[in-house]
Each structure stands twice: as structure tokens, then as C-alpha cells.
A = this chain, B = another copy of it.
């Protein structure tokens, strides 16, 4: 089974893909855009895209890209526990480190740890596992990266500090995405996109469609509507046992709606 994700080998996304699908042939993509485009054009059968972190909040690019690619559907989801580690070259000591690099989200998750250090430059880079690979390739004892323990094992690094994230409980939720018509899981979840008239009570009315059916709203994300400043597309994730109900809810919410996935 071929599964794509954003990042380099050893990334959290690859860990999550292996947990969800078992033995996979992993395909790393440089950007989320390239990942979703590969699913859209049929060259990649299945992709894994983070959609939310329990500390950092929604990964808004996931919603924006799903909206921009109407042929791509959410077919499954999984929650993966994130443990950030500080990784340096073999033999390095924590007090030697003068530069730490990682993905901005990983750095954000380790705010307290980073603030506890002195004389350390913090550098945002494109990828956690890529940062680990690069630090180990360059080989300076003064440089370290924050990333998955799996990437330390893969690239031969030393863990200088374990579990350096602010919150012990740190989870990332991922959407599995595929082209329309691909097999789906049947967890009983629906993801809807909708645009509302800008008037008092419009969101309340829309949420009433879910509430009167007793459908639990698991997540609600508001994103800017391209070209219409300070108007929004709402993304609602619902517990919704069957697909026909998801479609009927959608048609009742309004004209500008789309079902990004029922799975």
C-alpha cells in the first residue's frame, strides 16, 4: 500500500501512517500542496494530512487544500501521540547546544523548554525529520533539532532531552485522503464546508440543523473566503452515522455547501 505524507522519512506523519495502515510504502512530499495535488491527479492513491493538533489547534492548510481540490475526499482519520525530542550528534551534550532547528509547529509546542535554555538561537525550518537529518549530516556538536525519536533512530542521532513539549498530552489528528470513489472507513463522521450570509444569527441557524438532529459537532473551523475579506468558509466535523443523513444536513444548511467526506 502506497501512502504519501508531507515530510521526510522519519516524520510523525510516517509514524501515523504505519499505525493506521500497517506495512506501507511511504512517499514523502516536500509540501502539503504537492501531496494533495498528487492525490487529485491520481498519481498517489492515498495521503495522510494532519488536520489538528491538540495543543496548536487546527492545521488550517488541510481545510484550504480540501476546499481547493473538490475531487479529493476524506476517507479515514487517526489520532497519533506526539513526543518531541531534542536530537544532536552522537556525543553532544545539552549545554553545548547553541542552535536548535525544527518545524515552526514543533518549536511552538516546545515553547517552555526553549525559553528555559540560554544563548540558543531557534531556527524554523521546513520539516522536523528533515531538521534532524540535516543536523546529523552537518555534524556540529553545537546544533540540535527537535523531532520524532524515530528520526533519531533512522539517522543515527542522540536524544539530548526527551519529551520536551510543553504538554505531556500532545496529539495530532490526521485525515486520510483519496480521490472520490476510493474505499472509505465507516466511522460515521462527516466533514462539511459551508458559506453563510453575513447577518446576525446565520451561524446559529446553521448549527441548529445539526443540533435538532442530535448530531455532535466535533470541530468547527472558520477560514477566510478567498477574495472576500472578513467573510468565512466554515468547516464542521460531525458525528453522523450514515451518509444520506450527511447529505440531507448539507442541503438544509444552505446553497454554498460541500461534503468533504463521509467516512
Contacts and interface: CB of A to CB of B under 8 A. Distances in A.
A224 B54 contact: yes
A166 to B, nearest CB: 8
B222 A57 contact: yes
A170 B167 CA distance: 35
Given A210-B204, A211-B200, A219 B220 contact: no
Interface stretch (A17-25, A39-47, A226-234): A226-234
Given A57-B224, A211-B204, A216-B200, A229 B171 contact: yes
Nearest to A220: B222
A interface, over-half SS: mixed
8 contacts: A55-B226, A58-B222, A104-B124, A200-B211, A201-B214, A204-B210, A207-B207, A219-B222
Q: How large is the interface on A (under 10, 10 to 19, 20 to 34, 35 or more residues)?
A: 35 or more
Given A201-B210, A205-B211, 16 more contacts: A53-B224, A54-B224, A54-B229, A57-B223, A57-B224, A104-B104, A170-B229, A171-B229, A171-B230, A200-B210, A201-B211, A201-B214, A203-B220, A204-B204, A204-B207, A204-B211
A207 B227 CA distance: 27
Interface in A177-229: 199-201, 203-205, 207-208, 210-211, 214-224, 226-227, 229
Interface of A: 52-58, 60, 104, 124-125, 167, 169-171, 173, 199-201, 203-205, 207-208, 210-211, 214-224, 226-227, 229-230
Contacts of A220: 203, 220, 222
A51 B214 CA distance: 33
Nearest to A53: B224
Contact of A229 (B169, B199, B207): B169
A188 to B, nearest CB: 14
A81 to B, nearest CB: 10
